[in-house]
Amino acid sequence: MPLSDNVRNAIVDAVEQGFTDQIEFTKALVRFPSTRGQEHEIMAFIAGQLSDRGYEVDQFDMDPAALEAHEGGGRITPEHSTAPIVVGTHQPANETGRSLILQSHVDVVPAGPDSMWHHPPFEPHVEGDWLYGRGGADMKAGQAQIFFAMDALRRAGFAPAGRVHLQTVVEEESTGNGALMTYLKGYDADAVLIPEPEEEMLVRANVGTLWFQVEVQGKPVHVREMGSGANAIDAAYRVIAALRGLEEAWNAEKTDHRFFEELDHPINLNIGKIEGGDWASSVPSWCRVDCRIAIYPGMKAADAARQIEDTISAFAADDPYLSNSPPTVTFNGFFSEGYTLDPGSEAEAVLGRAHHAATGEDLQSFVTPGYLDCRVYQLYNRIPSLCYGPISENIHGVDERVSVESIRRTTIAMALFIAEWCGVEAIET
Ligand code: ZN
């Protein structure tokens, strides 16, 4: 049922009242340099914040065997984070409303060279409308929004009339195993909202993602007899060119994929890291290349993996050197399918009303060519999965920043969404 004017106004006021604290809280989150594997401290902080607010707190570890057995489980390597997953639960005394998951991730990608940043990446600061810092947009602003949207309801004198799980995960940037772990642990609800920085729009469809490493062996000799050796780095370049061919072939199929027809280049292959060789005057004997590629929704990760392997082995078979020394391929991270959000769900209608009340605009949707945890909820929980959040720039780049006014607007929208989706009951304040 749409919210009454009184309830709506009280919630909007409550978000405004908490907003200065919310930005300080966001900055506090950015100060944790929570790159992959370094999230234990921030997770302890999150657990403390949840318990201070009276949520029932559940902390649990990744279950590598269960994750590996699942078709969407990211491949586990020694770099896989061992930080716990933390879930806080609001359980209404008298549960009459729809349930909801609010999810965020606290892992952030490496900052890159500090010298390229105008301010140190983990020292957040606000300049004009922008809050700067690694992870501020992706997605510590969203993490704070989850806390403060729920706090605003309470400050306005309401509690959600449905069960709400506040789920904080890791491994969003490399495997998606954190979100998958919450599913394997049994967490479920009638809908999920993930406040990733999505330009105040709703994600309609999203690609799947695979990570893999190609290893090429060379034949090491002194450079004076280079012709008798084989250069692993040169050979790796040839393999990369073959993979670019696969990338173009997949992009050429975009018109067969609903929602992807209009995108310029939906399938991006990123050569993310390359290492090899030992010495400038020795023909290199080894080269390793770390790659990330996207796949359309509907394609299984295992099928895509097979096509990647086939592309490399077919190329190697025709290459004079590689035919005798074929490259090896190891999947070492994301192994995920994409998803689409079917238009017309009640959850989307409720978010549309909340967004309109907060911004005066109709809610737009768009398609993103990057990984999102929503795939777990859409594909496995089979619930409407809403990815929606503030305007940002330079995520995964330098001088990552998120718009403060956009945080304000989307927090109002989130609070109104929670209130209407779950319903509210009056509480003593
Ligand atoms: Zn993110």
Measure 109 CA to ligand 1 centroid, in angstroms. 9
For 287-305, the pLDDT digits (tens) are 999 999 999 999 999 999 9
Centroid of ligand 1 to alpha carbon of 94 (angstroms): 34
Q: What is the rounded CA–CA span in Å between residue 402 and residue 400? A: 7
Nearest Cα to Cα of residue 105 among 123, 86, 120, 129: 86
Residue linked to tokens 């000799």: 221
Instruction: Find how far residue 376's CA is from the centre of its chain.
Output: 11
Q: What is the pLDDT of residue 429?
A: 66
CA of 5 to the centre of ligand 1 (A): 33
Q: From CA 133, how far away is CA 127, in angstroms rounded?
A: 11
Look at strands 339-340 and 202-206 and give their pairing.
antiparallel
Answer whether CATH 3.40.30.10 is correct for domain 208-336.
Answer: no
| Separation of CA 146 and ligand 1 centre (Å) | 14
The alpha carbon of 172 and the centre of ligand 1 are apart by a number of angstroms equal to 7
Rounded to the nearest whole angstrom, what is the distance from the C-alpha of residue 372 to the centroid of ligand 1?
7
Question: What spacing in Å lies between the alpha carbon of 196 and ligand 1's midpoint?
Answer: 5
Give the residue from 7, 70, 392, 10 showing the smallest Cα distance to 201: 392
Give 36 Cα–ligand 1 centroid separation in angstroms.
Answer: 13
Q: How far is the CA of 370 from the centre of ligand 1 (A)?
A: 9
Greatest alpha-carbon span in the chain:
84
Asked if 207 contacts 369 with a C-beta cutoff of 8 angstroms, the reply is yes
Please check whether residue 354 is in contact with residue 420, taking contact to mean a CB–CB distance below 8 angstroms: yes
Ligand 1 centroid from CA 195, angstroms: 9
**Ligand 1 center–CA 393 separation, angstroms:** 13
pLDDT score of 245: 98
Phi, psi of 2 (to 5 degrees): -55, 145
Please list the ranges in the chain whose pLDDT falls under 50: none
Q: How far is the CA of 32 from the centre of ligand 1 (A)?
A: 16
* Bridge partners (DSSP) listed for residue 335: 210
Ligand 1 mean position, distance from CA 246 (Å): 27
Give me the DSSP letters along 368-402: ESS--THHHIIIII-S-EEEB---EE-TTSSS-EE
pLDDT score of 300: 96
What pLDDT digit, counting tens, does each position of 359-395 carry? 999 999 999 888 999 999 999 999 999 999 999 999 9
Output the pTM of the full model: 0.94
170-182 pLDDT, tens per residue?
999 999 999 999 9
Distance 354 CA to ligand 1 centre (A): 22
Instruction: Report the pLDDT value the prediction gives residue 408, as an integer from 0 to 100.
Output: 98
Distance 211 CA to ligand 1 centre (A): 17
| 224 CA to centre of ligand 1 in angstroms | 49
Q: What is the whole-number distance in angstroms between the Cα of residue 397 and the centre of ligand 1?
A: 13
For ligand 1, the distance from its centroid to the CA atom of residue 404, given in whole angstroms, is 17
Contact between residue 184 and residue 61 where contact means Cβ atoms under 8 Å apart: no
194 CA → ligand 1 middle, Å: 9
> Three-class SS of residue 272?
strand
| Cα–ligand 1 centroid distance for 405 (angstroms) | 19
The rounded Å distance from CA 402 to ligand 1 centre is: 13
Q: For the stretch 296-326, what's the b/e string if a residue is b when 16 or more beta carbons lie within 10 angstroms of its beta carbon?
A: bbebebeebbeebeebbeebbeebebbeeeb
Q: How far is the CA of 254 from the centre of ligand 1 (A)?
A: 25
CATH class of 5-205+339-426: alpha beta
- Give the tokens for residue 372: 């999102």
Cα 153 to ligand 1 centroid, rounded to whole Å:
25
What is the distance in A from the centroid of ligand 1 to the CA of 204?
Answer: 16
249-254, Cβ contacts within 8 angstroms, sequence gap of 24 or more:
250/295, 250/296, 253/296, 254/296
- pLDDT tens for 129-152 read 999 999 999 999 999 999 999 999
Residue in 330, 370, 345, 352 with CA at minimum distance from that of residue 416: 352
Domain boundaries, the chain: 5-205+339-426, 208-336
